[in-house]
């Protein structure tokens, strides 16, 4: 199959870091993902763009009906308009040194059909033939997709001014979905963090998710999954409603940025192998439910045109790893996330954080308890938000004022959920401090809450600083969520340099000790298992014993799979294959030494 464009994509990074990444990369044919969780930030950045482009700005006030969805629609339409204008300028620019269209083609992978045609065009001497070839290239240029992400579980209920709960369609994730659905974008909506049946059912309300007469989808559904079973369940659920999942995006459970959704010891390699082997089964099982459901809705589609893409992301850092994932597992695209945090040309990272990221070592990256959602969260030590949180604790004023309330989820003390990182939550905890019957709960909850950061503010602060947007209501202490793979990148670089690294034209990693991406994930899972065992020392049960034993068995099975995989890594030098073998044996020995029962 011919490759026309790029074989990588840029996943969502935090809330504000990649919030306008398409404006920076889509014109070069690179797809990227925007988080639409924070409509307040989107409105601030929309205003900033309008001012810089000298365009009139009409604010959408929070008190307006359906303001969240309207803000998201307005923001996405603005990004879409900007990208279209940029892409047209690229398409019509001259084929000359340093021009935008030249930059477009120079960044394409060497295996790209268009790249080969471009190189062919350069070598042509006859002027009329050269012009015809240039016209062909212009006509076949492809813009990068402006994709969006919704965390399915970040779907809090909202209330009217008199305190009455609004209907589900005004829940946060529902309103975000509506905001995207009503936009002019023709792109993909990536759902992450698991299945939300109510949200998935709500997709039926919007015609753009159903096939057009030519069989294409104006808006595609993408599900981020951790294993094959999850893909099958979610794909079938949506298919019964006449909704097609166009892509299953597999992410490493631990070797990734942001929230880490660990599997029960199932490793990325074996998961990818299962998708490769069972892809046709997935396609047939989902199609079997999709076609009759679609006909009931009076839509028709050519069944032969239905297909699914498998993509992967999490921990990839070398061009050889990138190429291996494409070749061995036949994935459509590979996500490169955290390394782009060192590309200020693409990401909204302030100077101080850029320096911190570029100088950070392996031990500076860790899996924290800082997310109010209660999900492990990849972090860097001594972030601005960590320092702010500790200072508030030491000054006897723990917690955040919680101005945005996107991550409220705790109802231990209240009818309406509150955030475990908030001042309100610490005050509620104080109310049980002197109750002898609740001492254990108080101590455990206090310890847990003391780790929590206000991510709503922290993950948007860097974008405000980088864009010099003033907001006196918001703390500008930074929270950032890079994956552990970033430890091996130590230079702030340009977009072109990062793309050249991805395709093996240059090498940005100077760390000779960087482990293979599969080895790194395995190491993270072994440490994760040991930490879970240590946490259970005082409260060990037969159920936990069974869980830990199965977890270890899954890791051992994964190790055996990787041992059999080594000969297939044919592009790697013998010394690299030997190191992978040695690392596997060392980690296997470490894993087998663990005592599960305590």
For 214-283, give the DSSP string: TS-BSSEEEEEESSHHHHHHHHHHHHTTT--EEEEEEE-SSSSSSB----SS--HHHHHHHHHHHHHHHH
Residues 330 and 390 in one domain: no
Residues 259 and 384 in one domain: no
Residues 398 and 314 in one domain: no
Q: How many CB atoms lie within 10 A of CB 436?
A: 6
In a domain, 346, yes or no: no
In the 3-class helix/strand/coil scheme, how is 543-567 assigned residue by residue? HHHHHHHHHHHHHHHHHHHHHHHHH
What's the pLDDT score for residue 414? 94
- Separation CA 551–CA 501 (nearest Å): 35
CA angle 364, 369, 370 (to 5 degrees): 85
Q: In the listed set 325, 340, 355, which residue is the last one of a domain according to the structure?
A: 340
Q: Which tokens in the block code for residue 189?
A: 């909506």
- Is the alpha carbon torsion for 151, 152, 153, 155 positive or negative? positive
What's the pLDDT score for residue 302? 85
Among residues 246, 241, 232, 147, the alpha carbon closest in space to that of 200 is found at 241
Residues 325 and 199 in one domain: yes
CA angle 277, 278, 279 (to 5 degrees): 100
Task: Give the model confidence (pLDDT) of 276-295 as tens digits.
Answer: 999 999 999 999 999 999 99
In a domain, 523, yes or no: yes
What's the pLDDT score for residue 597? 59
- pLDDT tier for residue 1 given thresholds of 50, 70 and 90: low
In what side-by-side order are the strands of the sheet with 32-35? Answer: 8-9, 333-335, 309-313, 245-251, 220-225, 188-192, 146-151, 32-35
Residues 6+ apart with CB under 8 A from 97: none
- Separation CA 19–CA 310 (nearest Å): 24
- Separation CA 112–CA 127 (nearest Å): 24
Residues 290 and 181 in one domain: yes
What's the pLDDT score for residue 572? 62
- Does residue 598 surpass a pLDDT of 60? no
- Separation CA 236–CA 185 (nearest Å): 26
Task: Give the model confidence (pLDDT) of 410-440 as tens digits.
Answer: 999 999 999 999 999 999 999 999 999 999 9
Average pLDDT over residues 460-489: 96
Residues 520 and 467 in one domain: no
- pLDDT tier for residue 303 given thresholds of 50, 70 and 90: confident
For a pLDDT cut of 90, what percent of the chain falls above it?
A: 91
Helix axes 113-123, 127-139, angle to 10 degrees: 160
In a domain, 291, yes or no: yes
- Separation CA 130–CA 435 (nearest Å): 83
Average pLDDT of the chain is 95
What's the pLDDT score for residue 166? 95
Q: Which tokens in the block code for residue 497?
A: 């340099």
Residues 321 and 398 in one domain: no
Average pLDDT over residues 239-250: 98
| HSE value, Cβ hemisphere, 13 Å, CA-based, for 103 | 19
Residues 131 and 260 in one domain: yes
Residues 266 and 227: beta-carbon distance below 8 Å: yes
Task: Give the model confidence (pLDDT) of 215-231 as tens digits.
Answer: 899 999 999 999 999 99
What's the pLDDT score for residue 478? 97
- Give the 3-state secondary structure of residue 206: coil
The more confident residue out of 538 and 35 is 35
- Separation CA 25–CA 302 (nearest Å): 33
Residues 108 and 160 in one domain: yes
DSSP lists the bridge partners of residue 368 as: 377
For a pLDDT cut of 70, what percent of the chain falls above it?
A: 99
* Helix, strand and coil in the chain, % to nearest 5: 50, 10, 40
Strands (E), 304-427: 309-313, 333-335, 365-368, 377-380
CA angle 564, 570, 576 (to 5 degrees): 80
Residues 42 and 152 in one domain: yes
Residues 96 and 29 in one domain: yes
Domain count, the chain: 3
Q: 549 is in which domain, residue-wise?
A: 515-598
Backbone angles phi, psi at 250, to 5 degrees: -90, 130
- Separation CA 265–CA 116 (nearest Å): 42
- Does residue 570 surpass a pLDDT of 70? no
In a domain, 473, yes or no: yes
Q: In the listed set 479, 506, 540, which residue is the last one of a domain according to the structure?
A: 479
- pLDDT tier for residue 262 given thresholds of 50, 70 and 90: very high
- Does residue 15 surpass a pLDDT of 90? yes
Task: Give the model confidence (pLDDT) of 32-80 as tens digits.
Answer: 999 999 999 999 999 999 999 999 999 999 999 999 999 999 999 999 9
Residues 580 and 570: beta-carbon distance below 8 Å: no
Residues 309 and 408 in one domain: no
């Amino acid at each position: 199959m011919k490759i026309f464009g790029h074989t990588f994509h840029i996943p969502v990074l935090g809330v504000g870091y990649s919030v306008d990444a398409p404006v920076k990369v889509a014109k070069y044919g690179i797809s990227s993902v925007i988080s639409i969780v924070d409509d307040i930030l989107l409105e601030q950045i929309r205003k900033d763009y309008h001012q810089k482009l000298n365009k009139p700005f009409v604010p959408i006030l929070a008190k307006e009906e359906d303001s969240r969805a309207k803000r998201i629609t307005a923001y996405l339409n603005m990004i879409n308009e900007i990208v279209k204008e940029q892409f047209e300028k690229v398409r019509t620019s001259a084929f000359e040194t340093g021009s935008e269209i030249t930059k477009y083609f120079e960044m394409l992978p060497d295996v790209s059909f268009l790249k080969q045609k471009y190189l062919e065009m350069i070598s042509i001497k006859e002027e009329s033939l050269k012009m015809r070839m240039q016209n062909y290239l212009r006509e076949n240029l492809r813009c990068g997709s402006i994709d969006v992400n919704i965390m399915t579980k970040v779907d809090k209920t909202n209330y009217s001014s008199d305190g009455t709960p609004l209907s589900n369609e005004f829940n946060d994730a529902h309103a975000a979905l509506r905001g995207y659905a009503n936009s002019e974008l023709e792109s993909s909506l990536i759902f992450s963090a698991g299945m939300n049946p109510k949200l998935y059912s709500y997709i039926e309300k919007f015609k753009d998710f159903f096939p057009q007469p030519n069989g294409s989808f104006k808006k595609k559904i993408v599900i981020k999954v951790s294993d094959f079973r999850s893909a099958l369940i979610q794909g079938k659920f949506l298919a019964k409603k006449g909704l097609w999942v166009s892509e299953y995006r597999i992410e490493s459970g631990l070797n990734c940025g942001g929230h880490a959704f660990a599997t029960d010891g199932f490793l990325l390699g074996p998961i990818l192998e299962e998708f490769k082997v069972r892809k046709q089964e997935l396609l047939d099982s989902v199609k079997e439910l999709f076609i009759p459901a679609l006909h009931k809705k009076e839509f028709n589609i050519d069944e032969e045109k239905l297909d699914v893409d498998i993509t992967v992301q999490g921990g990839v850092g070398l061009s050889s790893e990138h190429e291996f994932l494409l070749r061995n597992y036949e994935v459509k695209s590979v996500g490169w996330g955290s390394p782009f945090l060192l590309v200020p040309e693409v990401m909204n990272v302030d100077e101080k954080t850029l320096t911190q990221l570029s100088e950070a070592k392996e031990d500076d990256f860790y899996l924290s308890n800082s997310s109010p959602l209660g999900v492990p969260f990849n972090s860097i030590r001594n972030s601005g938000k960590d320092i702010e949180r500790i200072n508030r604790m030491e000054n006897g004023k723990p917690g955040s004022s919680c101005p945005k309330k996107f991550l409220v989820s705790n109802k231990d003390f209240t009818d309406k959920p509150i955030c475990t990182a908030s001042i309100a939550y610490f005050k509620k905890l104080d109310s049980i401090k002197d109750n002898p019957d609740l001492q254990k709960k108080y101590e455990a909850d206090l310890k847990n809450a003391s780790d929590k950061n206000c991510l709503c503010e922290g993950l948007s602060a860097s974008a405000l600083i980088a864009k010099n947007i003033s907001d006196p209501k918001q703390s500008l202490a930074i929270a950032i969520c890079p994956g552990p793979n970033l430890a091996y990148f130590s230079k702030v670089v340009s977009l072109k340099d990062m793309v050249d690294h991805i395709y093996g034209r240059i090498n940005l990693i100077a760390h000779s000790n960087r482990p293979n991406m599969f080895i790194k994930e395995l190491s993270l899972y072994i440490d994760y298992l040991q930490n879970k065992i240590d946490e259970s020392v005082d409260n060990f049960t037969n159920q936990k014993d069974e869980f830990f034993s199965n977890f270890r068995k899954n890791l051992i099975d994964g190790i055996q799979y990787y041992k059999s995989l080594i000969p297939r890594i044919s592009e790697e030098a013998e010394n690299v294959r030997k190191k992978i073998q040695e690392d596997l044996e060392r980690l296997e020995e470490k894993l087998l030494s663990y005592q599960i029962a305590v």
